[in-house]
Structure 1
Amino acid sequence: MTPETITGTFVDFYRERGHVLLPESSLVRPPDDPVLFTTSGMHPLTPYLEGRPHPLGRRLVNVQRCLRTTDLDEVGDSTHLTVFQMLGSWSLGDYDGPQSLRWGYHLLREGFGIDHDRLHATVFGGDEQVGPDTGSLEVWRELGVPVELTGPENWWSNGPTGPCGPDSEIFVWTGDTPPSGTPGTDGRWMEVWNHVQMRYHRHGDGRLEPLRQPNVDTGMGLERMEMVLRGGGSVYEGEGFGPWVRTVGGLWHPDEETLRRVCDHLRSGVVVVGDGVRPTNTGRGYVLRRLIRRTLTLLWRDDPSRSLGDLPDEPFTHTLDRFRQRTDVGDLRGLLLDEERRFRGLLRRGRPLVSRCLSRGPLGEEDYHYLHDTHGLPRDLVDGLVTGTL
C-alpha cells in the first residue's frame, strides 16, 4: 500500500462509521498555546476533549503532521522521526474504549490485511490510584490477541496535569522469524497504534478526578504503518524518504545511521519552513536552526567541504507536495544556504574562544554562560567543539 492508499483506507473506514474528516492544522500552534509545535493529532482538539462541543460532532477523524523534539536523540534507529504524519480518530463522549479496539482490530485485519498472528497488545495493569483496564483486556482476549499488562507505559497524559487515562497500544511483529516474546521483551514488536481512554483530569497535587465527558483518542503513525505493510526494515524505506535517501546517499555516501539522521533533519526542516517558521535563536526558530546545524555537523564530520547547495530540487519539492505545503523552493534553498554560511562563521569564531577557555581547565557553568551571553555560542555547539565533533 502507498501512503495515499493507507490514508484513504483509514479515513474511509471511520467515515463509514459516522466520523467527520477534520481539516489538518499547521505545525505552528496559536499564540496562546504554550507548546511550540503540534505534537500529536489530538493537540488541536484539546478544548473539545475537555468538554467543549465540537462544531463537527462527536466522531472525528483526520491526518495531521506532527513534530516531536523529544525524539531527536532517537532519530537514526528504524522507527523514530522528528516530523511524521499521524492518522487519528476520536470519540468525544460517544463510544467507549472497547468499541474503539474492536474497530481497530477489524481495520488492521480486513482493511490493511495484517495477519492475526503478527499482532500483540499492551494494556494498563493498574496502580495505586486506578485499577486494571479490564475492558480492554477482555476485548483482546475475546479477539484472541496476546496481551501484556504494564504500568506507566500504558498510562497516557499530555503533561503533569490535565486529561489522562489508560491506553492500549497495538504492536505488529517486524522480525524475520515467527513472533516471539512480548513488546516489553523483544524490540521487533513495533507499536503502530495507540488507543487512549481519556477518563480523568489530573490535578496539580496528583489527584485524579473523573471527566464529565470520557473520550477516546487514537493515533497511528503513517510512516510506521507503511513500513509494516511494505515489509521493509525501517521507516526510511518508504515513499516519503525515497528522494532524500537516494540524493543524500548518492552525493555523500554516509553510513546508515548518518544517512537516516541527515534525511530526517532535512525533511523535517523543509516541513517546518513550509509552515512559516524561520531560523532564530529562540523558540520555534531555534528548533529549525538546531535541525539545520545538526545536519551540517553530521555532514562535515567526514568532509567539511560538503554543502547543502549540492542538493537538487527534487527532495524539496517532493516533501512540500507530500505535506500539502506551498513554499518557493528557491527561497527555501536560499534560507538553508544562509544558515550554512552563518554556522560556518560561528564555528570559525568559536573554536579559538573555546580553546582559550579550555586552556584554563574543564568548562564550568560560568564558561558556558560567558560563551553564550558574550559571543552567542549555544551550549550544544560548545560541547561539539569540546568533543571534536564540530
Structure 2
Amino acid sequence: MRTDQLVSTFVEYYEERGHRRITGSTLLPPDGDPVLFTTSGMHPLTPYLEGRPHPLGRRLVNVQRCLRTTDLDEVGDATHLTVFEMLGTWSLGDYGGPRSLDWGYGLLTEGLGVDPGLLYATAFGGDGRTGPDTASVELWQGLGVPVELTVEDNWWPNDSAGPCGPDSEIFLWTGEGPPRSTPTRDDRWVEVWNHVTMTHRRLDDGSLVPLPRRNVDTGLGLERLASLLQGESSVFACDVFDPWRRLVPARWPLDEPSLRLVCDHLRSAVVVLGDGVRPANTGRGYVLRRLVRRVLTVLWRDDPSRGVGDLPVELVEHTLDHFRQDLRPDDVLRMLIEEEHRFRGLLERGRGVLAKPRFRGTLSEEDLRYLHDTHGLPRELVLSLREE
C-alpha cells in the first residue's frame, strides 16, 4: 500500500465514523506561539483541546506535516525524519479512549491487514498523582492484545505545559520469527500509533489541573507506518523516498547513513522554504541554515566540488507537489545555492580566524562565545573546523 492509498484509507475509515477532515496547517505555528515549528498533529488544535468549540464538530481527522528539531541528531537511523507527516484523529469531549483504541485496532487489522499477533500495547501504570489507565488495559485484554504498563513513557506530553494525559501506544513487531519480550525490553517492537486521553493541563510549575472535559488525541507517523506495511526496514525505503533513492546516488555516491541524512535534510529544507522560511542566524531560519550546512558538510567530506546546485530539479518538484506548496522549483534551488555560497565564505573566513595563535590551543567557553559574537562562527562550525 502506497502512502497516498494509506492516507485515503485512514481518512475514509474515520469519516465513516463521523469524523470531519480538517486541513492540515503549514510547519509554522500561529503568531505568538513560542515553538518554532509545528511538532505534532495536536499542536494547531491546542485551543480546541482546552475547550474552545471547533467549527467542524467534535470528531476530527487530518494529515499534518511536522518538524522536530529534537530529532535532528537521530536522523540516519531507521525511524526518524526531520520533516514528516502525522495522521491524526480527535475526540473533543465526545468518545473516550477505549473506543479510540478499538477503532485503531480495527483499522490496523481489518483495514490495513496487520496480523493481530504482531501487536503489543503499552498503557499508563499510574504514579503518585494519577491512577493507572485501567480502561485501556481492559480494552486490550478484551481484544487479546498483550499490554505492558509504564509510567513516564505513557504520559504525553511529559515535558511541557498544556493539555496532557495518559496514553496507550500500539507497537508492531518487526523482528524475524515470532514476537518476543515487550516494547520496553526489545527495540524490534516499533511504535506506530499513540492514543492520548487528555485529562489534565500541566501548568508552568509542573502541577496538574483537571480539564473541564476529556479529549482524545491520536498520532500515527505516515512514513513509519508506510515502511512497515511495505515490508521495509527503514522509513527511507518507503515509496515517499523512491525518487530520492533513485536520483541522489547517481549524483553523489554516499554510504547509507550519509545518503539518509542528505535526502532527509534536503527534502526538509525544500519543505521549510516552501512554507515561507528563509535562512537566518536565529529562529526558524537558523534551523533551515543548519539543515543545508549539515548536507554540505557531508557532501564535501569526500569531494569539495559537490554542491546543492547538482540536486535534480525533479526532486524539488516532487517534494513541493507532495506537500502542496506553490513555490517555484527554480527559486528553491536558487536559495539553496545562495546559502551554499554563504557557507563556503564562512568556512574560508573561519579557517583564517582559527589559524591565529590565540585559537590554536584548547578553546574555552569564552573563546567560543567570542568567535560567535565577533566573527559569526557558530559553536558546531568551530568544533567541526578544529577536527579537520
Scaled to the shorter chain, the TM-score interval is over 0.9
1:183 aligns with 2:172: no
Runs of 4+ in 1 over 4 A off after TM superposition: 357-360
- Which deviates more, 54-63 or 154-163? 154-163
| 1:223 to 2:223 alignment | yes
- Kept in 1, the 8 Å contact 2:278–2:288? The answer is yes
The residue type equivalent to 1:216 in the other structure is V
Retained in 2: the 8 A contact 1:258–1:298?
Answer: yes
Aligned to 2:261: 261
Other-structure match for 1:52: 52
CA contact (8 A) 1:357 1:367 kept: no
Pairing 1:109-188 to 2, within 5 Å after superposition:
109-157=109-157, 159-188=159-188
User: CA distance change for structure 1 residues 205 and 341 in 2, over 3 Å: closer, same or farther?
Assistant: closer
Percent identity of equivalent pairs: 64
1:77–1:257 Cα contact (<8 Å) kept: yes
Shift of 1:356: 2.4
Cα separation, 2, equivalents of 1:305 and 1:180? 49
Find the counterpart in structure 2 of residue 367 from structure 1.
Answer: 367
* Post-superposition offset of 1:158: 6.7
2:319 alignment partner in structure 1: 319
Per the TM alignment, residue 203 of structure 1 is displaced from its structure 2 partner at its CA by: 2.4
Task: Name the structure 1 match of 2:241.
Answer: 241
**By how many angstroms is 1:346 displaced?**
0.4
Q: Aligned equivalents of 1:270 and 1:30: distance in 2? A: 21
Is the Cα–Cα contact under 8 Å of residues 120 and 147 in structure 1 kept in the other structure? yes
Comparing 259-268 with 379-388, which one deviates more in the overlay? 379-388
| Preserved CA contact (<8 Å) 1:269 1:292 | yes
Judged with a 3 Å threshold, the aligned counterparts in structure 2 of structure 1 residues 44 and 359 are, in CA distance, closer, same or farther, namely closer
TM-score by length of 1: 0.97
In structure 1, the partner of 2:381 is: 381
After alignment, is 92-101 or 168-177 more displaced? 168-177
The alignment covers a number of residue pairs equal to 388
Q: How does 1:87-106 map to 2 (within 5 A)?
A: 87-106=87-106
Q: Give 1:361 deviation, angstroms.
A: 2.2
How far did residue 357 of structure 1 move?
5.9
CA distance in 1: counterparts of 2:155 and 2:228, whole angstroms:
25
| Deviation larger for 178-187 or 8-17 | 178-187
Q: Which moved more, 1:30-39 or 1:74-83?
A: 30-39
| Distance in structure 1 (CA, Å) of the matches to 2:7 and 2:317 | 21
Q: Report the 3-state secondary structure (helix = DSSP H, G, I; strand = E; otherwise coil) of the residue aligned with 2:239.
A: coil
For residues 124-169 of structure 1, what are the alpha-carbon distances to aligned partners after superposition, in whole Å with 9 as ceiling and x for unaligned? 1111111111111111111011111111011102743221111011
Q: TM-score, normalised by structure 2?
A: 0.98
**What's the CA shift for 1:176?**
2.5
Q: Which moved more, 1:359-368 or 1:47-56?
A: 359-368
* 1:174-218: CA deviation from partner (whole Å, max 9, x where unpaired): 122221111111111111100001101122333222110110000
SS of the aligned residue for 2:226 comes to helix
Gaps of 5+ in 2: none
Q: CA deviation at 1:358?
A: 6.2
CA distance in 1 between counterparts of 2:44 and 2:308 reads 34
Query: Which AA in structure 1 matches 2:263?
Result: C
State the partner residue of 1:196: 196
8 Å Cα contact 1:15-1:21 kept in structure 2 = yes
Query: Could you tell me how far 1:360 is from its partner in structure 2?
Result: 4.9
Contact 1:11 1:21 in 2 (8 A): yes
Provide the alpha-carbon RMSD of the alignment.
1.2
- Counterpart of 1:108? 108
**Larger CA deviation: 150-159 vs 8-17:** 150-159
Please give the secondary structure, in 2, of the residue aligned with 1:35.
Answer: coil
- Give me the whole-angstrom Cα distance separating, in 2, the residues matched to 1:246 and 1:347: 31
